Amino acid sequence: MVFIKNIRTTIILIIGISINILAQEPQYAKSNKYYKVAMKYYEQKDYDSLLINMQKALELRPNHPRILYNLAVSYVLDNKPPEAYKILRNMIKMGLFYHIEKDSDFGSLMQDDEFKKIVNEFKKNSEPINNSVIQFKYPEKDLIAESVAYDSVSGAFFLSSIHKRKIVKISKDGTTNDFSHQNKNIWSVFGIKVDARHRLLYACTSPMKQMVNFNEKEDGDGALLKFDIDSGKLLKEYYLDNKNASHILGDLTIDKEGNVYISDSKENAVYKLNYNTNKIEQIIKPGKFVSLQGLDLDEDNNNLYLADYALGLYRYNFKSSELIHIEPSENFVPQGIDGLYYYKNSLIAIQNGINPQRVIKIYLNDKKNRVINWKTLEANNPLFDEVTLGVINNNDFYFIANGQWNSFNKDGLIFSLDKLKEPVVLHIKL
């Protein structure tokens, strides 16, 4: 059976699962219940009941890698190898990679020629797909960079820091400096975006155990920060406290008028900062999502695309106020998407919640309610160590290769510098 080991993935899923199950989307809730029941039958070695419940879990959450894998195991344990092989081959088409030859649950198949062929096909999905070059490395190993932003006017890049509670600037000539400095108003910094037209930089910040000087009393707070991009002055904080709801403000996007849209992955809501009124309001209320992550607008600013780490892709239409679930194609994995970016009638997605972690391009149908195709842009890059968020500028995509979320112990204390690496930003021509 497959279990979660990645710390960031675990954090994100615990955030979602810890919410009252009755408040979640019904399909997710029901699937989760069937999955838990199936795992109990697995422990009891009741393989008929294991199979039945795992099938029901997958029906409610199609294409989910962990459920697919464990359904294949269920078929093997219930002495149905052909069905197991069918699922494993479908997972190969999804671009997934697992060391099934090391899983004792597949023991009865180990000597089969068919199983050996599938093992080799899985291994092909572990080979590098490399279309990127290194844009730059940042010398501060314990920065724990989450997001990169770009200023098209000055040519400067900016990196946000989870651990150091700050934003750093890399000027066009390569010089580096702290754009913001540690203070009580800035916690772990997640998504950052530049409004070049209005000369502003916006940042999402929330307290995390992985940051320096974490204060448990602040846990669940959050804020959107507005900076003057040229001076670095903090102009305003849009503060959300933890009295009525807990928050983790994770990512953001900006429309043509300067309005900012922010995803809250703990309250699972979307906020909007109105540029003209300078007020922040909730535009998508809790109850629709489990673990809300990346978001971006289409070229006309009519639709907001959203990624839920557990549930997949959505589109919110501003005119109708309708939230539309984007259905996956047969061989597309909708889960594990962190960063999401609209690009010329397609979506660029950073998938760090599956194996292998990768950057993909997603093609939608004309109605924008179904995935019709996808392709991998980058995967199995040896520099990858929790690939996180990025930014598109014209036809250039820049993203962080190594967020290093696994570089903390269970108490949130960071590893020593000799075990850390310099943050790396990669560049792909789209």
pLDDT tens-place string over residues 278-328: 999 999 999 999 999 999 999 999 999 999 999 999 999 999 999 999 999
In a domain, 249, yes or no: yes
- The pLDDT of residue 184 is 81
Q: pLDDT > 70: what percent of the chain?
A: 94
Q: What's the structural domain count of the chain?
A: 2
For 176, the token pair is 């580096």
Please calculate the CA angle 65-69-73 and round it to the nearest 5 degrees: 165
Statement to judge: residues 239 and 377 lie in one domain: yes
Q: Are residues 54 and 101 in the same domain?
A: yes
Residue 189, both tokens: 């910094």
Residue 352 has pLDDT above 90, yes or no: yes
Are residues 216 and 106 part of one domain? no
Residue 208: both structure tokens together: 């995390």
Say how far apart CA 368 and CA 372 lie, in whole Å: 10
Q: What is the pLDDT of residues 362-391, one digit of tens each?
A: 999 999 999 999 999 999 999 999 999 999
Is the same domain home to 258 and 322?
Answer: yes
Instruction: Provide mean pLDDT across the span 50-63.
Output: 96
Dist. CA 31–CA 74, nearest whole Å: 16
Sorting pLDDT into bands at 50, 70 and 90, what band is 1? low
Q: In what order do the strands lie in the sheet with 337-343?
A: 337-343, 346-351, 358-364, 371-379
Do residue 83 and residue 162 come from a single domain?
A: no
The predicted structure's pLDDT at residue 185: 81
- Rounded Cα–Cα distance for residues 422 and 137 (Å): 6
Alpha carbons 294 and 281: distance in angstroms, whole number:
18
Average pLDDT rounded to a whole number, residues 112-132: 97
Find the distance separating the first CA and the last CA of the chain, reported in whole Å. Answer: 37
* Same domain (yes/no): 51, 79: yes
Q: Do 107 and 147 reside in the same domain of the chain?
A: no
Q: Tell me, yes or no, whether 390 lies in a domain.
A: yes
The three state secondary structure string of the chain is CCCCCCHHHHHHHHHHHCCCHHHCCHHHHHHHHHHHHHHHHHHHCCHHHHHHHHHHHHHHCCCCHHHHHHHHHHHHHCCCHHHHHHHHHHHHHCCCCCCHHHCHHHHHHCCCHHHHHHHHHHHHCCCCECCEEEEEECCCHHHCEEEEEECCCCCCEEEEECCCCCEEEECCCCCEEECCCCCCCCCEEEEEEEECCCCEEEEEEECCCCCCCCCHHHCCCEEEEEEECCCCCEEEEEEECCCCCCCCEEEEEECCCCCEEEEECCCCEEEEEECCCCEEEEEECCCCCCCEEEEEECCCCCEEEEEECCCEEEEEECCCCEEEEEECCCCCCCCCEEEEEEECCEEEEEECCCCCCEEEEEEECCCCCEEEEEEEEEECCCCCCCCCCEEEECCEEEEECCCCCCCECCCCCECCHHHCCCCEEEEEEC
Quote the pLDDT of residue 2. 58
- Say yes or no: 257 and 116 in one domain: no
**pTM of the predicted model, to two decimals?**
0.93
**Residue 400, domain CATH:** 2.120.10.30
**Does residue 187 share a domain with residue 322?**
yes
What average pLDDT does the chain have?
A: 93
- Each residue of 65-102: pLDDT tens digit? 999 999 999 999 999 999 999 999 999 999 999 999 99
Q: CA-to-CA distance for 382 and 338, rounded, in angstroms?
A: 20
Mean predicted confidence (pLDDT) in 351-363: 97
pLDDT at 8: 52
Q: With bands split at pLDDT 50, 70 and 90, how would you rate the model's confidence at 403? A: very high
- Which of 27-31, 53-57, 85-89, 374-378 bottoms out in mean pLDDT, i.e. has the lowest? 27-31
Q: Are residues 284 and 420 in the same domain?
A: yes
**Domain containing 169: what range?**
132-429
Region 167-172: mean pLDDT is 98
Domain-located, residue 187: yes
Closest CA to 358 of 65, 130, 67: 130
Q: 386 CB contacts (<8 Å, ≥6 apart)?
A: 6, 8, 352, 357, 402, 403, 404, 405, 406
Same domain for 415 and 272? yes
pLDDT band at 401 (very low <50, low <70, confident <90, very high): very high
Q: pLDDT tier at 422 (50, 70, 90 boundaries)?
A: very high
Tell me what percent of the residues of the chain surpass a pLDDT of 90. 91
Q: What is the mean pLDDT of residues 7-20?
A: 42
**Predicted local distance difference test score (pLDDT) of residue 369:** 97
Q: What is the pLDDT of residues 240-290, one digit of tens each?
A: 988 889 999 999 999 999 999 999 999 999 999 999 999 999 999 999 999
